[in-house]
Amino acid sequence: MSIIVALDAKSHDDAMAIAGQLDPELCRVKVGKELFTHEGSSIVKALHGEGFEVFLDLKFHDIPNTTAQAVCAAADMGVWMVNVHASGGRKMMETCVERLKAGNYNTQLIAVTVLTSMGREDLADIGLDVEPFEQVKRLAKLTKESGLDGVVCSAQEAKMLRETLGSEFALVTPGIRPEGSNADDQKRIVTPKQAMLDGSTHLVIGRPITQAENPNQMLKDILATL
């Protein structure tokens, strides 16, 4: 079980100010689309310079060749983990896995199944007459068959996916809130301990840590509950 702190910052300085309060021995960090679009690869280099392993959360989704080249570009930067949309399909995911292997990269590749912001109606709008939960299961199976290392999923889905997909598959779960902390805009939240019991392997935690008075102490407190 490990913790990935979401560095949802707008600028290099903001991100490094948060990272500077964290011990890279105790957590990894996640860089998403906003921060990466502002700062580019320099933010990844700076975080590596401080000793952090980075999850580059750019959710690539394109034709197989383009996606695989983007994944390899992330691996070239030395990131620990990167992700794609499973809805890009089997060929897209398999091509990514093949290129990572061919390049001898160690970067972990995971996939997003259904965005948790999407409900049944949203899926119907894009032509999918299926419960989100069924679609998550289908795409997670496809991700595993395509040779990826895991999926991003809500903690509510973790239990079902752990049962369906076996033990050797990473389940990276956001929507985590320690007992007694603010839910912010998250609708369905789970405690770190519960997520772990349900089969999550990596907890993505943002504001409860980044906005704490003492982020590193909060990180230690959360680790102590696991």
Q: What does the DSSP assignment read for 97-112?
A: HHHHHHTT---EEEEE
Which one of the spans 47-55, 90-98, 155-163, 199-207 is the region binding ligand C5P (CB under 6 A)? 199-207
Q: Does position 84 bind ligand C5P by CB under 6 A?
A: no
Q: Residues 138 to 167: which contact ligand C5P by CB under 6 A?
A: 152, 154
Q: Per CB under 6 A, does 173 bind ligand C5P?
A: no
Q: Does 174 bind ligand C5P (CB under 6 A)?
A: yes
CA gyration radius for the chain? 17
62 is catalytic: yes
Closest contact distance (angstroms) between CB of 132 and ligand C5P is: 11
Q: Is 149 a catalytic residue?
A: no
Name which position in 17, 145, 184, 226 contacts ligand C5P (CB under 6 A): 184
Residue list for the binding site for substrate = 8, 30, 57-66, 116, 177, 186, 206-207
Among 58, 205, 219, 222, binds ligand C5P (CB under 6 A): 205
Beta strands in the chain (DSSP E): 2-6, 28-32, 54-60, 81-85, 108-112, 150-152, 170-173, 202-205
Strands (E), 21-166: 28-32, 54-60, 81-85, 108-112, 150-152
Residue number closest to ligand C5P, CB atom: 206
The CA angle 44-190-196, to the nearest 5 degrees, is: 75
Distance CA 218, CA 112 (A): 27
Our measurement of the distance from residue 155's CA atom to the centroid of its chain's CA atoms, rounded to an integer in Å, reads 12
Residue 158 gets the label, from left (phi > 0), alpha (psi -120 to 50) or beta, of: alpha
| Separation CA 149–CA 153 (nearest Å) | 13
Is there binding between residue 215 and ligand C5P (CB under 6 A)? no
With binding defined as CB under 6 A, does residue 48 bind ligand C5P? no
Minimum Å gap between C-beta 211 and ligand C5P is 8
Residues making contact with ligand C5P (CB under 6 A) = 6, 8, 32, 116, 152, 154, 174-175, 184, 186, 204-207
